[in-house]
Amino acid sequence: MSELARILLDEIEAGADEWIGLLQAFVRTPTPNPPGDTRDGTARLAAFLAARDIEHRLIAPLSHAPNLVAQFEAAHPGRHLVLNGHIDVFPAGDAARWKHDPWSGAIENGRLYGRGVADMKCGTTSSLITFALLHKHRDKLAGKLSLTCVSDEETGGRYGAGYLFANHPEYVMGDCCLNGEPSSAHTVRWGEKMPLWLAFTVKTRGAHGAYVHMSESASEVALRLMERLEKVTELEPKPAPEIQRNLADPQVRAALDRSMGKGAADILGKVTLNIGVVEGGLKMNMIPSECRVEADLRVPFGLSKAEVMACIHDILRDFPQVTVKEESVESETHANWCNPEGEMLKIIQRNALQVRGIEPVPIATLALTDARWWRNAGIPAYIYGCAPDGMASHDESVAIEEFLNVLRVHALSAAAYLGGGA
């Protein structure tokens, strides 16, 4: 272990009560999206930096959803690492279903409870503290470190990370990105399937419900369409060799099922189809003249959106009553990924094994995160964070010791990447 690594671990230990208090205060500051107002949460993070005389700025394409950015140059020339996390979180839902108030930040039996603590205030707080710790020791580092705490992740990121890429590339166009989204201590994530959201509209003449000979039912056409759409799940992807090796690894498959539920390993390499919304008809005794079907497809590595859409349009040749419109958040063309055997991944594994006693397995994930903005720009982006306990449900929580271990791994890995030793 390097001298700097030992210093950082000592400082994390000495400041543990402060770091826990910061995370607790952040959780106690509601930032649900929708509605997406993150001003109070951003102000709390900015105050932490201001108290340490660390320069930072707010970039707010939406006045109620600012992004906090900061950057420093180390003592020696070198690579540019970006730390990324988001401030907005899911809505809390029915507070009556929670063991503790969702904005209480309550601590019980070594766990901190609250909406967004796992997704991803634990990770964002770790990024913030890591930035401050390394800023203090920048004379021992080489290169540049950027901090990007963004809003709008839960609604697509076009006013968060996406906006920074389009308008402030100096903060995001680095050599690597480290993100603290939930992953669990057992995995580090290198890629994500591509979401392809499609809305199908079925239109027929319609008629009185007793006159079934007068018109097709748009709802019945939609039913046949939904059955046929399953054909997309049979498409055969052709992933890159390094991805093939990763997806076939028994240890990886076991980690996928452990972290995302049994069966995750089987669907990661396939197109999946979820019919999320079906709306049709006006009245029981009327033949529906219109029906809308909204489908969420997830496209795996080694298959393009164009290939999936070609299959969709082939199906639609048998459905002249149907039109389709893409409603994806942004126009991605492939699943996003970086090298599952990359340098930063190895650094994370080494430090996690050292401080946690667990070497995380490199996996891809089923849902999207802001890491995709970096990967789609050709920049490696890796995710290492807490377990997703209660994420998007009630009683979301993180073990205090797990939070501190995420912080340790992030601080040591960022330092190592910037030349501060392993």
How does pLDDT run across 310-319, given as a tens digit for each residue? 999 999 999 9
Q: Are 87 and 32 within 8 A, CB to CB? A: no
Helix/strand/coil (H/E/C) assignment for every residue in the chain: CCHHHHHHHHHHHHCHHHHHHHHHHHHCCCCECCCCCCHHHHHHHHHHHHCCCCCCEEECCCCCCCEEEEEEECCEEEEEEEEEEECCECCCCCHHHCCCCCCCCCEECCEEECCCHHHHHHHHHHHHHHHHHHHHCHHHCEEEEEEEEECCHHHCCCCCHHHHHHHCHHHHCCCEEEECCCCCCCEEEEEECEEEEEEEEEECCCEECCCCCCCCCHHHHHHHHHHHHHHHHHCCCCCCHHHHHHHHCHHHHHHHHHHHCCCHHHHHCCCEEEEEEEEECCCCCEECCEEEEEEEEEECCCCEHHHHHHHHHHHHCCCCCEEEEECCCCCCCECEECCCCCHHHHHHHHHHHHHHCCCCEEEEECCCCCHHHHHHCCCCEEECCCCCCCCCCCCCEEEHHHHHHHHHHHHHHHHHHCCCCC
Q: What's the confidence (pLDDT) of residue 1?
A: 83
Percent of the chain at pLDDT > 70 equals 99
Residue 259 pLDDT > 90, yes or no?
no
Domains of the chain: 3-192+335-417 (3.40.630.10), 194-246+261-326 (3.30.70.360)
Q: What's the confidence (pLDDT) of residue 422?
A: 59
pLDDT band at 305 (very low <50, low <70, confident <90, very high): very high
How does pLDDT run across 324-366, given as a tens digit for each residue? 999 986 668 899 999 999 999 999 999 999 999 999 999 999 9
pLDDT band at 240 (very low <50, low <70, confident <90, very high): very high
How does pLDDT run across 146-189, given as a tens digit for each residue? 999 999 999 989 999 999 999 999 999 999 999 999 999 999 99
Residue 15 pLDDT > 90, yes or no?
yes
Residue 22 pLDDT > 80, yes or no?
yes
d(CA 205, CA 160): 44
Q: What's the confidence (pLDDT) of residue 34?
A: 95
Query: Distance between terminal CA atoms of the chain?
Result: 6
Residue 104 pLDDT > 80, yes or no?
yes
Residue 421 pLDDT > 90, yes or no?
no
